[in-house]
Chains A and B, each alone.
Chain A
């Protein structure tokens, strides 16, 4: 009988632990709570966020920001659209495609102003330029617009697409490359996986997609549902302002932001993250004279056209982004 009671107590405890995740609108001291879901596992691309946290900028602007990491890369957009998180990090092509399908998200500010996606290969494969892709196997994560990138690149280089095999290797691109299942991968970031392989002495060959025939776009953007934009516009503006300050802090003292990132994620390799931050720091900067997070309309519509021409979307990129919530002062 005692045993049965113990079991019941444990059951109740467990259920209680699970149900405890109630979302509250206000954080301590009346600050407004914002939930941000990153695009993937935390890494040095996200340092501005941790720098903003460490510099107390969120608090100064009356915000309490919770950072979450998804295990499933498709989750952030979904969660933001459903309003389960207030903000998420996503990619410009992802946002445009989602909107075309009717998903209610809007890009509210760009974190990284250039494409990071690249074709990465090891020296043995002998791929120095896109022309060398002829007859090779390219691994992707099965994302449709990345396949479109490949087609555009091959077209520009004058390579017959029929002679290039595309394989879906899931999200573990590097393992597929290292085990030689594919000659090259498309989808890794030149500022992350490229550097990682270089530090591990694999001497990778990197071809950036925007240098090979794909129009430029913003690789990392903050997104929110239009409902959240309407209801929490001010908080979002404060958020972006805090991020901008974080970037400014990083310029002056990169180590502080880096330490904050590493403290929150003990599984990261400090040396790698430091190298990544070094090359990524310039990429946070908006065009001259524009506020932090600026999303260039001409570039967005050019990219939207590219996506339409590739058959990825029906309509254009109209309304996919808004610069209205960007902080007043630029960097």
Chain B
């Protein structure tokens, strides 16, 4: 079954994101120092690192919500940012929240809701379209937020622990779904996650960051064949090797 994500297909060679020598400080604390990163168009990059290493700051810088103190950021095309907290509007129902990005793009409310509704089923949220955020579990809220991000229809997705609040079963279901969706309709994705397995499942490249101030410790080019099926990967020695290297870099 194909899944439409409503984004234009772009040529693969172009550079989507370029981060050069970026430094970001908050008073005495330096979140990022002299940070470099390049993301090619259509690439899925997972960013893994310990808490406080500046992962979220990096995403916000790329999203344009923060400005660097030093260095430069070049982002081609617009980005849809999904923050760690779901930030659903409590006075709107689930569909209303999911449609928020479309409305902001100028789509009339009724039309936006009409486009958003069918996606609920696919994310396992069928029946809950009219529910209010306070009636939903944390995991459901996060999925609605995720849907909101997707429906923005932007070529670049910045996802900050998009499945962090989900239980293991739902999480793996969502990971499989996203992997499938990206295969059908490629987008440039920058994914921040704690979960190494998730990173290896979804990403073309895994970037491991050091503790604060964040720097790139290791980059792993994950050349495992797609589609990546969790069941099969578990026994795959190549997968285990990547996992070992990533965990080693993290110091575990």
Whether the complex brings A and B within 8 Å at their CB atoms is answered no
- B-to-A contact residues, CB < 8 Å: none
